[in-house]
Amino acid sequence: MAAYLASITNSALSIYFIIFTIGALGYVIGGVHIKGISLGTAGVLLVALIWGIIVSYIPEFRIGDQTIVLYSPALKANYSMVSGIGTSLFVTSIGLIAGPKFFRTMNKSSLAYICNGIIIILIGTITSIIFLHIDKNLSPEMVIGLMTGGLTSTPGLASAKEAAAQIAGTVSATGALRDPDQLVAGYGIAYIFGILGVVLFVQIIPKILKVNIPEEREKFIAASTITIPSPKRALKKLDPLTFFPFFLAISVGCLIGSIKIPGINFSLGRSGGTLISGLIIGHYQHIGPIDCRMKKETLNSFRELGLVLFLIGCGVPGGVNFIGNVKLSYFIYGAILTLVPMIAGFLIAKYVFHLEVFNNLGSITGGMTSTPALGTLIQTAGTDEVASAYATTYPIALVAIVLATKLVILFA
């Protein structure tokens, strides 16, 4: 009987069951509205974090002679794969959605997006350095982990880990031993507020400013309208659901993301590479006689699925790391590293660059490299045209944070 019960339990608590159960419960929680504010898809992240916290206390248990494993290094690798697939699906969708208009609408606003992305990362870096000098018990690795978590930048974390590996075991200027593991701990602590903070920000700001969303959306769409030329010859679709261009964009994007600049060991990574390839394929719409146009509904489905998988894949390991490493001061630092760059970036975009609210918030989600916040903003604005501002700002912010984290780790 015990063996039978163990077998049933092991199947019921498989990673496949857990992933889809987290998704289902997350949508239930995300669908709850309080005074017009909801977590939306980020509700999935909240459930994933809670599950991560639970399995950090109970990673496994026994029924009879069998051990039921809820979390282990092997399962962590599976969650990492889920997150990576989700990122590729989401970012590629954004690139293909924005691609037809992206290069055709490069104007003064595009320069504002680029500047805003740099400003957000610069403010985050300066704030991190201030914390490093104020708190003598704070290591460079921990503060950069907090910064990349607060700005929700996995590529920034990866870059910092590469740099930290070069100096592991040495002593910092404060006399502390350089420990790359603190990067991941700091990232996990700050990432939770980083995700939820930006998701709530893009919903709260329109309410604070008393934005008439239907009216603003109508003006925004009218300003974004642009004629996209149709192909001048007959094109051939390779499959009825037009999956070919999507899979091609991901495969090419992985190659682009793997290219490293000699000397500084910089690459765009999978997320940056798939965004670029999506933009290019979306812009040209064909490769020779092969049709690369995709239905909007298909892209929206891929985008949402990718977002959910990303949140689950990051959320569960984040919850596991949270309890073991969290300190109140670290959590406060992480929250500040989310709020200060985000609020400063919004105000600069509004009063210096004079961006309209949806363009402003789209730029903020790109500058904060926040995939879930863009999904929430699209729901709030009621149009995926806001993805253009994200798509312009994101690559610049990505490059900036990768360089900033590497420099702080090597020279702090």
Indicate the pTM of the whole model: 0.71
What pLDDT was estimated at residue 119?
Answer: 93
pLDDT class for 24, splitting at 50, 70, 90?
very high
Percent of the chain past pLDDT 90, that is, above it, reads 12
What average pLDDT is seen over the chain?
Answer: 80
Cα pseudo-dihedral 313, 315, 316, 319, rounded to 10: 160
Q: What share of the chain is helix, strand, coil (3-state, %, to 5)?
A: 75, 5, 20
**Residues 6 or more apart whose Cβ sits within 8 Å of residue 4:** none
| Cα distance between residue 194 and residue 367, in whole Å | 12
Distances (CA, A) of 111 to 108, 153, 356, 368, 399: 5, 22, 14, 17, 16
Rounded Cα–Cα distance for residues 95 and 288 (Å): 20
| 3-class secondary structure, 67 | strand
Q: Name the band, by pLDDT with cuts 50, 70 and 90, for residue 289.
A: confident
Q: What is the pLDDT of residues 75-131, one digit of tens each?
A: 788 888 888 888 888 888 878 887 777 777 666 667 888 888 899 999 999 999 999
Contact 178, 145 (CB under 8 A): no
User: What is the predicted pLDDT for the residue at 373?
Assistant: 82
**Tokens 């930006």 appear where?**
198
- CATH code of 2-411, in short, is 1.20.1530
For 98, the token pair is 């924005």
Kindly report the length of the chain. 412
So what's the pLDDT on residue 236?
Answer: 83
pLDDT for position 177:
53
User: What pLDDT shows up at residue 170?
Assistant: 55
DSSP 155-174: HHHHHHHHHHHHHTTSB-TT
The closest alpha carbon to 274, from 245, 309, 315, belongs to 245
Quick one: pLDDT at residue 385? 79
Between CA 365 and CA 295 the distance in angstroms is 25
Question: Would the pLDDT of 338 be above 90?
Answer: yes
Sequence-ordered strand ranges (E) for 285-406 = 286-287, 290-291
> Residue 158: its pLDDT value, please?
60
Q: What is the pLDDT of residues 342-383, one digit of tens each?
A: 999 999 999 998 888 888 998 999 888 787 788 888 888 888
